[in-house]
Amino acid sequence: MEKMKLKLLYTDLKSDIDIIEKELENALNSSSHLINDASLHLLQAGGKRIRPVFVLISAKFGNYDIDNIKNIAVPLELIHMASLVHDDVIDDSDLRRGRRTVKAQWNNRVAMYTGDFIFARALEYVTAIENKRVHQILAKTMVEICNGEVIQIEDKFRVDQNLKDYFRRIKRKTALLIESSCELGAVASGLDEKNIRHLRRYGYFVGMSYQIVDDILDFTASDKELGKPAGSDLLHGNITLPIFYLKDHPIIKQFIEKASTGKVVEEDRLAMLKVVRNSEAIKQSIALSNQYLRKALKEVEALPNHQMKKKLRDIALFIGKRKF
């Protein structure tokens, strides 16, 4: 339902998104039937394709040419897909979006090779673009995403971390790739520096809000909506925004302690969820997400008049209100 609502937001981009979808299929085509099966498994799981959409919309502000822009939009989605395949190995996740993960369906090694294959295809694809700056932005993003994941592992179950640590983490985990999607779309379509900056900052703010909402939903959405047990983030030791407001709550403290030793039972999870859901932490987190969205909307205002401005606003508002 949510995905449909999002898709309605960019119906006028549908023909180009269909091209991207087709290109994703082509890019994942392999001589190995196992890689084909794993890739098809991933493609069928769908996804919001939010990164390619940001590339397309940003490019619309410049000299838009889908044959050129697809060479940015497709690799960005592939990089996102590949990192999810590897993340599932790291998090030992058996389910994603309600479907079995590659590592659960086959094994960790198959997931590693599939992820590496997709990463490689992403880079192969982007070499159709000769602009050195494009590659530098994308490469820096890939390295920083990894750094973010390393930090995330280091920060697991660390209760003495502060909000700055959290923001640093979600910036690299999510905001950077959305920021780069907007920036790269703008750069590849030859937009001027001032507007590239506005779009990049828009992407960053939206990305931060997107991850905060994701972190809220991990507590507030149902297991069915999430396609995995609610509260999984904290169960895996990831201290997300709502928990910063509840770190001193005895039930939360106890839950983190138990989770760090792998002793959580279903009753503990439900008790933890009840505390978070009934607390002010959710409202406070939403307020922070909205602050980022306001900043994003300010960047949109600074852009030249274009019908895509409305789209950027609508997507930002959708992100703030999405239910899962």
Partner 1 sequence: MNATYIQQAIEEFKNNISLHVRHRTLARYTGLPVSDESQLFYLLLPFLNGEQWDGQLEESAITVGIVHASLNEHDKIDEKNATSKEQQLTVLAGDFYSGRYYEILARLGNIPLIRQLSEGIAIRCEHQIKIYESTHYTLEEWYQSISVKHTELIKRFYQVYQFEHYTTFMHTNLLLLQLQKELQQLQNGKPSNLFMKMGESVSNDEKLLELKVLEEINSLRRLLNEYLQSSTFLKDELKLYIQQQLV
Residues of this chain that interact with partner 1 (CB under 8 A) are: 30-35, 83, 86, 89-90, 92, 106-110, 112-114, 116-117, 119-124, 127, 130, 132, 135-136, 138-140, 142-143, 145-147, 149-150, 153-154
Nearest approach, Cβ of residue 185 and partner 1 (Å): 18
> Minimal distance in Å, beta carbon 256 to partner 1?
17
Taking the alpha carbons of 93, 99, 100, 105 in that order, is the dihedral positive or negative?
negative
Positive or negative CA dihedral for 303, 304, 305, 308?
negative
Q: How far is CA 182 from the centre of its chain?
A: 14
Residue nearer to partner 1 on the CB measure, 150 or 163: 150
Residue 26's closest CA among 142, 106, 125? 125
Shortest distance, position 131 Cβ to partner 1, whole Å: 9
Tokens (6 digits) for 210: 């997107």
The terminus-to-terminus CA distance of the chain in angstroms comes to 9
**DSSP-derived secondary structure for 137-165:** HHHHHHHHHHHHHHHHHHHTT-TT--HHH
CB of 38 to partner 1, least distance (A): 9
Nearer of residues 156 and 197 to partner 1, judged by Cβ: 156
Query: Closest CB to partner 1 among 145 and 259?
Result: 145
Complex with partner 1: residue 140 or 294, whichever CB lies closer: 140
State the nearest-atom distance from the C-beta of 246 to partner 1, in Å. Answer: 26
Residues linked to residue 218 through DSSP beta bridges, in sequence order = none
Indicate the DSSP class of residue 209.
H
Q: Please state the closest distance from residue 105 (CB atom) to partner 1, in A.
A: 11
Cβ distance to partner 1 smaller for residue 142 or 234: 142
Q: Token pair 């106890």 is at which residue?
A: 254
Nearer to partner 1, 114 or 174 (CB): 114
